[in-house]
Amino acid sequence: MRVVGGALRGRRLEMAGTEAVRPTSDRAREAIFNMLVSLELPTDATVLDLFAGSGALGIEALSRGAAHATLVDFDAAACRTIATNLTALRLGDRATVVRSDVDRYLATRGDPVDLAFADPPYRFDGWSDLLDTVNADVLVCESDREVEPDSHHGWQTHRARRYGTPVITVLVRPGGADSSATEASPSRHA
């Protein structure tokens, strides 16, 4: 796995040595950041990477100009891998690694961020609670299906695309980031 864009393009990332981690493919990461360009992200953004695994999404955001990333994962091996990747890429001063259950983290630390990523295991069934508690202008969700917010969540679908098994859903808060262009149904090609 490697960084696919920005200042660190081509640099290798260590993988977490645990079966609990399902890394986002290079192709899907590149597509995610192409989708974020229309929202003028991640330049100068504060980023929250939930279920961070190896830290690839947060590191990709930093490589592309994000100001700071907080990477959250419950798995100790994943947190060690994230720290190793941040050190190897000299990003330690622009990132914070937090070992915590995501629900507990969101309940105790509600600081607003510009951009959040949520890439939980596919069996994850807590999307409704997550959508209620993430304090971000833009939320990128990776799942085996499109994440569809109810009207009470305060999110609007900006784009949803399928990349093999994963579906990437980009949600925006109305009035936050540019929410005028929406593409709600996942594409079978990309």
What is the tens place of the pLDDT at every residue in 7-50? 999 999 998 765 556 678 888 899 999 999 989 999 999 999 99
Q: CA-to-CA distance for 3 and 13, rounded, in angstroms?
A: 7
Answer whether residue 2 shows pLDDT above 60.
yes
Lowest mean pLDDT among 43-47, 92-96, 178-182: 178-182
Instruction: Tell me the pLDDT of the chain averaged across its residues.
Output: 88
Tokens of 158: 């900006």
User: In sequence order, what are the residues at sequence separation of 6 or more whose Cβ sits closer than 8 angstroms to the Cβ of residue 173?
Assistant: 136, 137, 138, 154, 155, 156, 179
Spell out where 38-185 has E strands: 46-50, 68-73, 95-99, 113-118, 136-143, 156-162, 167-172
For the whole model, what pTM was predicted? Answer: 0.89
Whether 182 has a pLDDT exceeding 50, the answer reads: no
Q: What is the DSSP letter of 183?
A: B
The confidence score (pLDDT) of residue 109 equals 86
Domains of the chain: 26-172 (3.40.50.150)
Nearest CA to 163 out of 177, 143, 136 is that of: 143
Tell me how far apart the alpha carbons of residues 160 and 169 are, in angstroms, rounded to a whole number.
Answer: 4
Residues 6+ apart with CB under 8 A from 153: 128, 131, 132
Is the distance from CB of 142 to CB of 21 less than 8 angstroms?
no
Determine the Cα–Cα distance for residues 72 and 77; give it in Å rounded to an integer: 12
Which among 45, 47, 44, 103 is positioned nearest to 71, based on CA atoms? 47
Q: How far is CA 61 from the centre of its chain?
A: 9
Tokens of 178: 């540019």
Rounded to whole angstroms, the Cα distance separating 145 from 166 reads 7
